[in-house]
Amino acid sequence: MALKCASVFTFIALWGFALSITRYSVPEEMEAGSFVANLAADLSLDIRSLEERNAKLDVVHSKNYLDINKDTGELIIREKIDRESICVTKTTSCFLKMDVILSNPVRIFNIELEIMDINDNAPVFRRKAMHLDVSEATPPGERFSLTNAVDADVGANSVKTYYLSESKYFSIDIQTGSDGSKYVDLVLNVNLDREEHAVHNLILTAVDGGVPPRSGTASIIINVLDINDNAPLFSQSVFAVNVSENSAVGSVVMTLNATDLDEGTNAQLMYSYTLYTSEKTQELFSLDPHSGEIKVKGVIDYEDSQNFEMYIQAQDRGTNPLSGHCKVMVFVTDLNDNYPEVTIKSLKRSLAEDVSVRTLIAVVSVSDRDSGENGEVKLTLDRQETLPFLLSKSSEGYYELLVSKPLDRELISKYDITLIVTDRGLPPLSENETITLEILDVNDNAPMFSQSFYTIHVVENNPPGALLTSLSALDPDLNENQYLVYFIMEKEIVNTSMSMLFSINPENGDLYALKTFDYEREREFLFHIEARDSGVPPLSSNVTVHIVIQDQNDNTPSIVSPWRVHGSVVEEVIPRSTEKGHLVAKVVAIDADSEQNARVTYQLLQISDSTLFSLDQYNGEIRTTRMFSHRDPRQQRLVVVAKDNGEPALSATVTIKISTVEHSMTFLETTELPLEYEVFTNLNLYLVIGLGAVSFLLLITILVIIVLKCQKPKPKAIKIPPANRNSMISQRSSTIADSTLISSDAYWYSLFLAETRKGKVVMRQPIIPKGAGYFVSSIPRSIGPSETTDSRASTLEFSK
C-alpha cells in the first residue's frame, strides 16, 4: 500500500512539472544554427545540469527541426523550417510542439514553437491561359468568371488583389469569399466588333499582400464570335468595260469581287442579275454565281448593239441575308477583221556561202483590203537581229530581201526566213510567210586535229603491224570538201625513212608500226602527219607525233665478275686463318634493260654452310661471317643468283667453289701467266710504262674523234642513259677495283676485267665482236683493311 502511494505521488509530481508551457515564435525559412531562445534561462536551469541530467528534445508528431546547445543552454534551428510543409491546411496559426526532458530527477518542460509565415510563395493560377468565346452581339455589363489564383502563404501574404492589362472593352470585378479568398470576374464594358478586333489578348495579374509583394500572371484570350451585321460591298457602284466584237464564247469580260467583313457563312456571297437587266443582255453574257465572273455567251456584233447594261447584286448566306448592288456598262469595240496579205514574186532557193553582201534573194509584195489605219501595213523579218538578211523597200507595196552579212554554212546550213506583215488596226492583224534558204558549201575550212601534238607510248618487242593509235582530223565542210586523206610527211632518221618504220591508213588515220622496236636501240621518234581534204583547191594541216618506246624486261642479267667460262665453276682460294668480315669474292652482274628492269640484286641460292658466309644483296660482296674452325670442310660451295627488278623478274646464277689452305700460297688458273715478283722488278716497270703509253695514245685518239664529230652535222640522236655495272677484282690483300661498263647501243658484247693478287698479275682479254662499239670506264678504289691501291681512270674505246 505504501509503494502504491509513492507511485501516485511521483506521477502527480511529474504531471505538475509538465503543466507549464513555454511558447516561442520564429519566422519560417531561418538558416540552420539560428538562435531561437535561451532555454536554460527561460526554464531556470543551470547550464551544467543540461549535460549532467542528459537534457534532450522530443518533438511531437513532427520532424525534429530544433536542437539544444548544451554548452550555452540555447535552443537553435537544426534544419530550415517550411511553414507550408508543416501546416498543410491554410490556418492563421502554425505550432510545432515539443518536450524538454531532464533525468535525475525526471522533469518535463512543454515547449510550443509558433512558425510565423513569411512571403515566400507567389500567387499561382491553376490555368496559365484562359480561353473565352464572346459573341459580338453580347451587351455591355456581361460578366465572365475567371479562374482565381492561389497562394500557399496565409494572412497578409496571401492573394490581396488582381490587376487587368489595359483594355477599353473589358474590366474586372474582385469578389471576396467567406474564407477571405479573392475571386475575380471579367466584365464587358462596351459592344464588341469582330470586324474591328477579332481577338483580344489580356493579362490578369494576382498580387499578394507581402512585403515585398509577389505576383503571378495568366493570359486571357477572348475570341469574338461573328454575327451577320455587314452587307456585301462592291469596290464601286458603276463599272465600265470594253469588249471587242466577235469575241470568242467563253472569253472573260470582267470579274466582280464584292467583300463582306463578316466571316463564315455570313461572308459567303452569291452573284445574280436583278430584274432591271434585259433578257438580251443575259443571253449574250453569263454570270458565275460563285466567282462573279462575267463571260461572253453569244455572238457580239458592233453593228447590232454598241453597249449593254447589267444590274448585279451580291447576297451573303447569313440567317438574315444582306445584299449589295452595282451596275456594269459593257461597250463594244469595232474589230479590224481583215488580215493583210504577203506574196512572193521572185525567190532563190539556195545560195553559195561565199556570195557577196547585198545579193538579192527574193522580191515580196504586201497588201490589206481594209482602209484607213487598218489598211496600212508594215513588213518585217522575224528575229531580224539573228539573221544575216535585211528588207529594202523598193517601191510602194514592194520589198527586196537581201544578204546583209557574210554567210557561213558550217555555222548555219539552212535558214527559215519568216516574213511578217502587220496592219495598224486596233488590235493589229498580221500574216506571215516562211521562206527556206539552203546554203551551199565551198571548201573554206582546213582539216583540224583535236590536238597539235600527240605522244604515243609503245612497249618494245611489239609485233610488226601493231595498231599504235588513230589520228583523226575533222573538216566541217561537206562532200568532197570533207573527205580526208592521211599520210606521213617524209623524214629520214639515221638513213631510215619514216615510211619504213610506220604506216598510216590514208582513209581513217590508223597509225601502225612496221617493225619490232627495241628499247635498247631506239628510244623515240618524232615526225609529222598531214591530213588533206579533197576540195578544189585542197586544204591541209599537220600534227606532230612523238613515239616513245617503253622498256620491257627482256634482257637477263649477265654475270661479268667473277669471270668464268660459260657453265664452269669459279674457284677462289683463301687461307683458313681468314678473319671475320674478310672479302672472299664480289659478284657483279649487268642488265641491258633500264630503270627498274636493270636494277640487280643478289641472293644466295645454295650454300654449304650458311653460318660461314654472307652476301650483300646490293653490291654482291661475299664476306666471311666468322673464322674457320677445324670442323669446317676445306671446300665450300656457293650458288649466287643475280635477279633484276622487272616483272616477271629474270635471273642468272654463278657457282663459286671456295678452297681453304693452311698457309699463304697462290693458286694459278690454267689460262693465267704468272710473273713472280717480290720487289719492284723490271717487268713491273715495263708494264707501267706500257700502260701509260697506251692510255696517252687512247686519250689523243678520243680528242681527235671529238673534234672531227663536232665539225660535221649529226642527225638528231636519242640519248640513252648509261647503265652502270660493277666489276670485281678479287685479291688476297682485299684490294678491290670497281668498274663500270657502259654500252652506247645498250647491248653488252665485251668484258674487260683485271685481277691482281699478291705476287702475281693476271690479265684476261675477252673476245670483242666485230663492229661492236663500246667503252669501259674504270674507277678503282681501295677497300682493303691495310693498304691502298691508287690508279688512274682509263678509257678503252672501240669504234665500228
pLDDT in tens, 383-402: 988 999 999 998 888 999 99
pLDDT at 788: 30
- CA distances from residue 75 to 52, 68, 103 in whole angstroms, order as listed: 17, 5, 18
Are 103 and 129 part of one and the same domain? no
186-214 pLDDT, tens per residue?
999 998 888 888 899 999 999 988 888 98
CA distance 747 to 556: 12
Are 597 and 503 part of one and the same domain? no
Are 351 and 405 part of one and the same domain? yes
| Model confidence, pTM | 0.40
Q: Under a CB-based contact definition with an 8 Å cutoff, are residues 461 and 554 in contact?
A: yes
Give mean pLDDT, residues 670-692. Answer: 56
Query: Is pLDDT of 425 > 70?
Result: yes
Are 647 and 563 part of one and the same domain? yes
* Cis? peptide before 780, omega within 30° of 0: no
Which is higher by pLDDT, 698 or 371? 698
141-179 pLDDT, tens per residue?
899 988 888 887 787 888 889 999 999 999 999 888 877
pLDDT at 683: 57
In a domain, 379, yes or no: yes
Query: Is pLDDT of 57 > 90?
Result: no
In a domain, 531, yes or no: yes
Are 485 and 504 part of one and the same domain? yes
586-611 pLDDT, tens per residue?
999 888 888 888 899 998 888 888 88
State the CATH number of the domain containing residue 389.
2.60.40.60
Which is higher by pLDDT, 726 or 483? 483
CA distance 324 to 314: 5
In a domain, 710, yes or no: no
Q: Which helix (H) or strand (E) holds 739?
A: strand 739-743
Are 261 and 349 part of one and the same domain? no
Provide the domain count of the chain: 6
Are 457 and 544 part of one and the same domain? yes
Percentage of the chain surpassing pLDDT 70?
81
Query: Is pLDDT of 572 > 80?
Result: yes
Are 536 and 479 part of one and the same domain? yes
Concatenated DSSP letters for 11-28? HHHHHHHHT-EEEEEEET
Q: How confident is the model at residue 357 (pLDDT cuts 50, 70, 90)?
A: very high
Q: Taking Cα atoms as reference points, which of 713, 715, 718 lies closest to residue 547?
A: 718
Q: Which of 61-70, 501-510, 615-624 has the lowest mean pLDDT?
A: 61-70
In a domain, 748, yes or no: no
Say which amino acid occupies 475: D
774-790 pLDDT, tens per residue?
333 322 333 333 333 33
In a domain, 780, yes or no: no
* Cis? peptide before 506, omega within 30° of 0: no
DSSP lists the bridge partners of residue 575 as 661
Q: Taking Cα atoms as reference points, which of 434, 433, 430, 336 lies closest to residue 377?
A: 430
Choosing from 331, 353, 374, the residue where a domain stops is 331
Are 572 and 538 part of one and the same domain? no
Query: Is pLDDT of 728 > 80?
Result: no
pLDDT at 320: 85
pLDDT at 201: 94
Choosing from 659, 679, 701, the residue where a domain stops is 659
Place of cell 527559215: 416
Q: Which helix (H) or strand (E) holds 439?
A: strand 430-440
In a domain, 711, yes or no: no
CA distance 246 to 335: 8
Are 459 and 433 part of one and the same domain? no
Highest mean pLDDT among 363-377, 590-604, 744-758 belongs to 590-604
Neighbours of 236 (CB within 10 A): 9
Helical H segments across 31-88, by residue range:
39-42, 47-52, 83-86
Strand pairing class (389-395; 398-403)? antiparallel
Distance of CA 256 to the CA centre of its chain: 55
At 718 the three-state DSSP class reads coil
pLDDT at 371: 67
In a domain, 766, yes or no: no
In a domain, 410, yes or no: yes
Choosing from 380, 411, 438, the residue where a domain stops is 438
Q: Name the grid cell of 123.
A: 500567387
Q: Which of 370-374, 620-624, 648-652, 712-716 has the lowest mean pLDDT?
A: 712-716
Q: Name the grid cell of 724.
A: 652502270
Are 419 and 460 part of one and the same domain? no
CA distance 729 to 434: 96
Query: Is pLDDT of 798 > 50?
Result: no
pLDDT at 179: 74
Q: How confident is the model at residue 648 (pLDDT cuts 50, 70, 90)?
A: confident
- For 1, residues 6+ apart whose C-beta sits below 8 A from its C-beta are none
Are 593 and 626 part of one and the same domain? yes
Helical H segments across 70-166, by residue range:
83-86
Domain that holds residue 243: 237-331
